Every structure is written in structure tokens, then in C-alpha cells.
């Protein structure tokens, strides 16, 4: 891994959200200087709600939203208006109130009947909208990820075959005791220019500390690490943003 690697601890989830929002603002400025749009993949779950609400409330005029393409890191296989949908959460907290052109918001079609075709369709969208790395994977500017209690991230869950997927960019799979999910795979996460884990709360912060340690150990030896620890940007930055509450 040649990018930067850092852990930042914040007093509150609001301060964590501010830091993540500032990262997006900088990444959009950098992309515009290079004459292109910036791309961000959103995390699901509950932690990012504070961030998305902040973006809707305080960043309307601080970011050139015409220069932003929004993707999703994963999705539950439910309709987009389902309370469990990650798109629904982001839409309610931000996208419905933001200024991103609707055709620049790319929802994961995880509610389709044919999930394999839907995953391939999303991969095509990624490939058509994003530059490709030398090893042929789409490059996202920024990926926001959460951390599950079992060490999962996006919808890369322990013990699932999705963890071993090294060619497809997007897979749909049935997660035992959870249900059907669609998720970006490690090759896409590891080709991002910046990956930020957003982790709030004491318990989750302790789990994050374990993930960070496992990720470091993975550099030297092939240990059994939790899925979140196996995100290893090849050239981009890996940042753990932790807040105690």
C-alpha cells in the first residue's frame, strides 16, 4: 500500500462528519483542477446519517455539486423507498435536499428480479463513468465505509464468497441470517483514491482498533482478518475516522 494511512479520533460524531465532509470538498476541488468530476461511494447503515445531514444543511454552497458523481458501496435488496434501503436513507437525509443533478446519483439496482444482471449493470455504470486503474478497475475518488459489529464493511460479510471476488466489481449475494445484499468488491475499494471508515461510539471504536491492527499485520503475514481489515487501497489513502460518541 503506497498511499497515506491514518487514524483520527474525534470528540463527537458531528466533528467526524465535518472532517469527512471536508474531505469530499477537497476531493471535488482536486478533481475540478484536473478537469473532471469527483466520485464518491456512500456508506449505508446509521453512522453516516450525521454526515449526510451535514452535507444537506451546510455544504449546499461549499461544494460544486455539478462536479460530483454519487455511487453506493452497497445496498440491501429491497425497494428504494424501503426504510431498510441505503439509498432511501441517503435520499432522505441528503440527496433529496442537495443539489446533485439526479443523473449523477447512481443507485444500486438491488431491487431487481435478476440480481446477477443488476450487479453487472452497475459494474457497467461504474466503468462508463469512472477512469480505470492499470489493473482494469474503476477508480473512485472517495469511498465512505462503515464497520459492522462482526467486522463487515459495505456488504462484505465474514465467511462469504464475496470476500474472495477478485474480478467482478459488484456482486449480489445472500448473507446468512441477513438476507440478500449487493456490494462493491475489494478490487474497487482497493483502487479508490481515498477510503474513509466512519466509526462512531466506544464499542465500535474498539472494534476499529482491532481492525486497524489486523490490517497492519496483514502487511507481513497472511492472518485471518475481519472483512474491514482487508480493505487495502493500493495507491490511495486509508483513513479511520473514529468518534467516542
Q: Contact residues for ligand 6PG (CB under 6 A)?
A: 43-47, 74, 76, 86, 146-148, 152-155
Looking at the Cβ atoms of 131 and 179, the one nearer to ligand 6PG is 179
Could you tell me the smallest distance in angstroms from the CB atom of residue 154 to ligand 6PG? 5
List CB contacts of 130: < 8 A, sequence separation 6 or more: 39, 69, 138, 139, 140
Looking at the Cβ atoms of 14 and 235, the one nearer to ligand 6PG is 14
44, 74 Cβ separation under 8 angstroms: yes
Could you tell me the smallest distance in angstroms from the CB atom of residue 37 to ligand 6PG? 23
E-state strands within the chain:
5-10, 38-42, 68-72, 74-76, 142-145, 170-175, 179-184, 194-200, 237-243
Looking at the Cβ atoms of 66 and 174, the one nearer to ligand 6PG is 174
208, 242 Cβ separation under 8 angstroms: yes
Question: Cβ-closest residue to ligand 6PG?
Answer: 146
Task: Give the Cα separation of 153 and 155 in Å (integer).
Answer: 6
Residue 97 CB-half CA count within 13 A = 14
**What is residue 142's three-state secondary structure?**
strand
Of 147, 133, 64, nearest to 104 by C-alpha is: 64
Could you tell me the smallest distance in angstroms from the CB atom of residue 226 to ligand 6PG? 12
Could you tell me the smallest distance in angstroms from the CB atom of residue 18 to ligand 6PG? 17
Looking at the Cβ atoms of 4 and 179, the one nearer to ligand 6PG is 179
**Element containing residue 86 per DSSP (H, E):** helix 86-90
Looking at the Cβ atoms of 227 and 236, the one nearer to ligand 6PG is 227
Looking at the Cβ atoms of 100 and 231, the one nearer to ligand 6PG is 231
Amino acid at each position: 500500500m503506497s498511499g497515506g494511512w491514518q487514524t483520527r479520533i474525534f470528540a463527537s460524531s458531528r466533528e467526524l462528519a465535518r472532517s469527512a465532509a471536508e474531505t469530499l470538498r477537497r476531493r471535488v476541488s482536486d478533481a475540478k483542477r484536473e478537469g473532471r468530476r469527483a466520485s464518491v461511494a456512500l456508506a449505508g447503515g446509521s453512522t453516516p446519517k450525521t454526515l449526510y445531514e451535514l452535507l444537506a444543511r451546510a455544504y449546499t454552497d461549499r461544494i460544486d455539486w455539478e462536479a460530483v458523481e454519487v455511487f453506493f458501496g452497497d445496498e440491501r435488496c429491497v425497494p428504494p423507498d424501503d426504510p431498510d434501503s441505503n439509498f432511501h436513507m441517503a435520499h432522505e437525509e441528503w440527496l433529496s435536499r442537495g443539489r446533485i443533478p439526479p443523473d449523477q446519483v447512481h443507485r444500486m439496482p438491488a431491487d431487481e428480479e435478476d440480481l446477477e444482471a443488476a450487479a453487472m449493470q452497475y459494474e457497467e455504470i461504474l466503468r462508463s463513468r469512472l477512469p480505470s486503474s492499470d489493473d482494469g478497475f474503476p477508480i473512485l475518488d472517495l469511498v465512505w465505509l462503515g464497520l459492522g459489529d462482526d467486522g463487515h464493511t459495505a456488504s462484505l460479510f465474514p465467511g462469504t464468497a464475496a470476500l474472495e471476488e477478485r474480478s467482478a466489481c459488484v456482486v449480489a449475494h445472500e448473507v446468512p441470517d441477513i438476507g440478500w445484499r449487493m456490494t462493491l468488491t475489494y478490487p474497487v475499494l482497493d483502487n479508490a483514491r481515498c477510503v474513509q471508515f466512519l466509526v462512531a461510539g466506544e464499542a465500535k471504536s474498539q472494534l476499529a482498533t482491532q481492525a486497524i491492527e489486523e490490517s497492519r499485520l496483514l502487511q507481513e503475514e497472511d492472518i485471518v482478518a475481519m472483512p474491514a481489515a482487508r480493505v487495502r487501497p493500493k495507491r490511495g489513502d486509508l483513513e479511520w475516522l473514529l468518534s467516542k460518541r
